[in-house]
Amino acid sequence: MSYDTVVIGAGLAGLTAALRLTEQGQRVLIVARGVGATHLAPATVDVLGYVAEARVESPATSLAALLATSQDHPYARIPADQLATALAWFSARAGGSGYAGSLAENMLLPTALGVAKPSALAPRTMAGGDLRAGGRFVFVGLQGFKDFHPTLIADNVVRARLPAPITARALELKPPPSRVGDLSPRVIAGRFDTDNLGDWLVGALEHRVDPDERIGVPAVLGLRRAEETWLELEKRLGRKVFEVATVPPSIPGIRLFDALTRALRTGGARIVLGVRAVGARASNGSIEAVDVVNATRTVSHQTRSVVLASGGFATGGLELDSYGVTHETVFDLPLIGVPKADRVRFAPGYFDAQPLAEAGVATDDLLRPIDSSGHPVYANLHAAGAILGAAVPWKEKSGTGISVATGYAAAEAILAPHTQPLSEAVR
């Protein structure tokens, strides 16, 4: 089959690029070994949370400080106005009631451990948990729901460094029994969708929570109608209600994946999971076809452009082999940030700065991977997301921001030379 763009990877970066291209009328194929980190991460868009250990109040103003020390950082390829455009575009597409927040300031949202995590954008169902507001918080746990301990969250958030004083307490509720025994996030979310667990929650909370308390519940308010459930809870309880990210799997992340893939399918894009892109056929410095291994054979998909969004070490876009050599796994692209053979790759402490963590591809301003002399490896190959080098997303709290920004920018780079008319599919 012949496509305008083949996107390799179905994580946030790949889906963002694919949807932007599909909306602009391109015929897009997404191939991926599996789903990406959407199912694990809490679906917030963290643009920039920390620069050199200092918490960032405003990503918009702190980006310059980050880029001053790191010219190869993926954000160095994104003009400031395009970053804002990308976030606004994303907010409008990422599911039901959309996203709150902006580049101007970070919210501080509680994690399942009660850490105040800086995020630029968050689903509206989570945004009410912004700890900067101060005041009284109550965190609600569900008996039998593993790895979500409201007491731990409450104890930790009051210790967090916050602009306004807060108090927090914990409540543990016993959900009505169901035939599905194991209370995984997936199972509880399903019960919110079908068993009206929202009604039960209102009844269980209305007399146990003061009028000025904000109510934090685990982020399991449903998959298909979470926004309705959340709006209903706020209305009937007359208080601010917000979802608190759980440990994986992430229900808001699955909602995000579902919203993006639904929009892709509606727009006519094709998504194939469980296959492996293994290389390309190129001529005159351009990729003409991407080779994909399916159940029994390798198929060449002809294409005009390619977006490589295969992720970093965690999802197989990069690989460290048993000889200590680091590879990009699809095109064997040149990498930056790889420590030389005689240097340390790993520091002893888990949370130390890990030298190998900055490995990845370097790109030009069109996000095209470049070689050591600065030339694009292929004229029509663009990279997005965790495959990009010179960033330390877990430390900067920049991973989802980089994915959305570079996914969008890769799509724009592909669209720019032809400037095609908007298709009717744009909603």
Partner 1 sequence: MNDLIRDSLDHCVKCTTCETYCPVSKVTPLFPGPKYVGPQAERYRGAGPSPDASVDYCSGCGICTQVCPQDVKIAEINSRARAKLWEKRGVPLRNQMIARPTVIGRLGTPVAPLANWALRNRAVRALVQSATGIHRDAPMPSFAGRTFQRWSRSHRGEPEAPAVVYFHGCGTNYYEPLVGEMVVAVLEHNGFRVIVPPQDCCGLPLQSNGNFPAARTYVRRLVAHLAPHARAGLSIVSNSTSCGLMLKREAHEILGLEDDDLKVVSDSMYDLCEFLLGLHERGALRTDFRSLPMKVPYHAPCQQRGHGIGKPALDLLALVPDLHMIELDADCCGIAGTYGLKKEKYEISMAVGKRLFDDITATESDLAACDSETCRWQIAHGTGVTAVHPIELLYRAYGLDRSDQPELVMAGTELERVAG
Of residues 165 and 181, the one with the C-beta less far from partner 1: 181
Q: Does 274 bind partner 1 (CB under 8 A)?
A: yes
Instruction: Name the token pair of 90.
Output: 């994303």
Find out whether 284 and 290 touch, Cβ atoms under 8 Å: no
CB of 103 to partner 1, least distance (A): 29
Amino acid, single-letter form, for residue 369: P
Considering only 59-67, 288-296, 325-333, 408-416, which stretch makes contact with partner 1 by CB under 8 A?
A: 288-296
Which residue of 94, 127, 254, 410 would you call a contact of partner 1, by CB under 8 A? 254
Which one of 53-61, 174-182, 377-385, 386-394 is the stretch in contact with partner 1 (CB under 8 A)?
174-182
- The residue from 180, 278, 344, 347 that contacts partner 1 (CB under 8 A) is 180
Between CA 295 and CA 315 the distance in angstroms is 20
Between residues 68 and 272, which has the closer beta carbon with respect to partner 1?
272
Does 49 participate in binding partner 1 (rule CB under 8 A)? no
Report the SS3 class of residue 169. Answer: strand
- Residues between 348 and 377 with contacts to partner 1, criterion CB under 8 A: none
Which residue in the set 315, 380, 400, 403 belongs to the binding site for partner 1 (CB under 8 A)?
315
> Which residues are within 8 A (CB) of 341 and not within 5 positions of it... i.e. 6 or more apart?
324
Within 10 angstroms of residue 291's Cβ, the number of other Cβ atoms is: 15
Residue 369 burial by CB count (10 A; 0-12/13-18/19+): exposed, middle or buried?
buried
- Do the beta carbons of residue 62 and residue 51 sit within 8 Å? yes
Q: What share of the chain is helix, strand, coil (3-state, %, to 5)?
A: 30, 25, 45
Of positions 64, 272, 344, 347, contacts partner 1 by CB under 8 A: 272
Enumerate residues 232-251 that contact partner 1 by CB under 8 A: 248-249
Q: Is 225 in the site for partner 1 (CB under 8 A)?
A: no
Report the C-alpha gap between 172 and 211 in whole angstroms: 19
Which position has the token pair 């291994």?
Answer: 293
Q: Distance between CA atoms of 262 and 100, rounded to whole angstroms? A: 21
State the DSSP string of 366-422: T--BB-TTS-BSSTTEEE-GGGBSS--HHHHT-HHHHHHHHHHHHHHHHHTTT-PPP
Residue that the structure tokens 């296959």 belong to: 275
117 by DSSP, 3-state: which?
A: strand
Beta carbon nearer to partner 1, 177 or 211: 177
The token pair at 332 is 């064997």
Which part of the chain contacts partner 1 (CB under 8 A), choosing from 29-37, 113-121, 342-350, 388-396?
Answer: 29-37
**# of chain residues touching partner 1 (CB under 8 A):** 45
Sign of the alpha-carbon torsion through 209, 214, 216, 219 = positive
| Distance of alpha carbon 259 from alpha carbon 304, whole angstroms | 27
CA 293 to chain centre: 27
Smallest distance, partner 1 to C-beta of residue 322, A: 13
Residue 278 is a binding residue for partner 1 (CB under 8 A):
no
Give min distance, CB of 277 to partner 1, in A: 11
In three-state secondary structure terms, 277 is: strand
Q: Which residues within the stretch 104-133 sit at the binding site for partner 1 (CB under 8 A)? A: none
CB of 290 to partner 1, least distance (A): 13
| Cβ nearer to partner 1, comparing 104 with 180 | 180
Among residues 236 and 304, whose Cβ is nearest to partner 1?
304
Q: Mark 293-312 with x for binding to partner 1 (rule: CB under 8 A) and - for no binding.
A: xxxxx-x-----------x-
Complex with partner 1: residue 6 or 383, whichever CB lies closer: 6
User: Segment near partner 1 (CB under 8 A), from 71-79, 132-140, 197-205, 259-267?
Assistant: 259-267
Task: State the minimum distance, in angstroms, from the CB of residue 39 to partner 1.
Answer: 5
Q: CB of residue 37 vs partner 1: minimum separation in angstroms?
A: 8
Q: Does 186 bind partner 1 (CB under 8 A)?
A: yes
> Scanning the structure block, which residue is given the tokens 């945004």?
127
Q: Is 270 in the site for partner 1 (CB under 8 A)?
A: yes
82 secondary structure, DSSP code? H
Kindly tell me which residue out of 181, 324, 348, 374 binds partner 1, with binding defined by CB under 8 A.
181
Binding flag, residue 40, partner 1 (CB under 8 A)? yes
How far does the chain reach from its first CA to its final CA, in angstroms?
26
**Residue 88, interface with partner 1 (CB under 8 A)?**
no
**What residue ranges in 132-275 does DSSP mark as E strands?**
135-142, 166-173, 213-218, 241-244, 270-273
Enumerate binding residues for partner 1 (CB under 8 A).
1-2, 29, 32-37, 39-40, 179-182, 184-187, 190, 248-249, 254, 258, 261-262, 265, 270-276, 292-297, 299, 311, 314-316
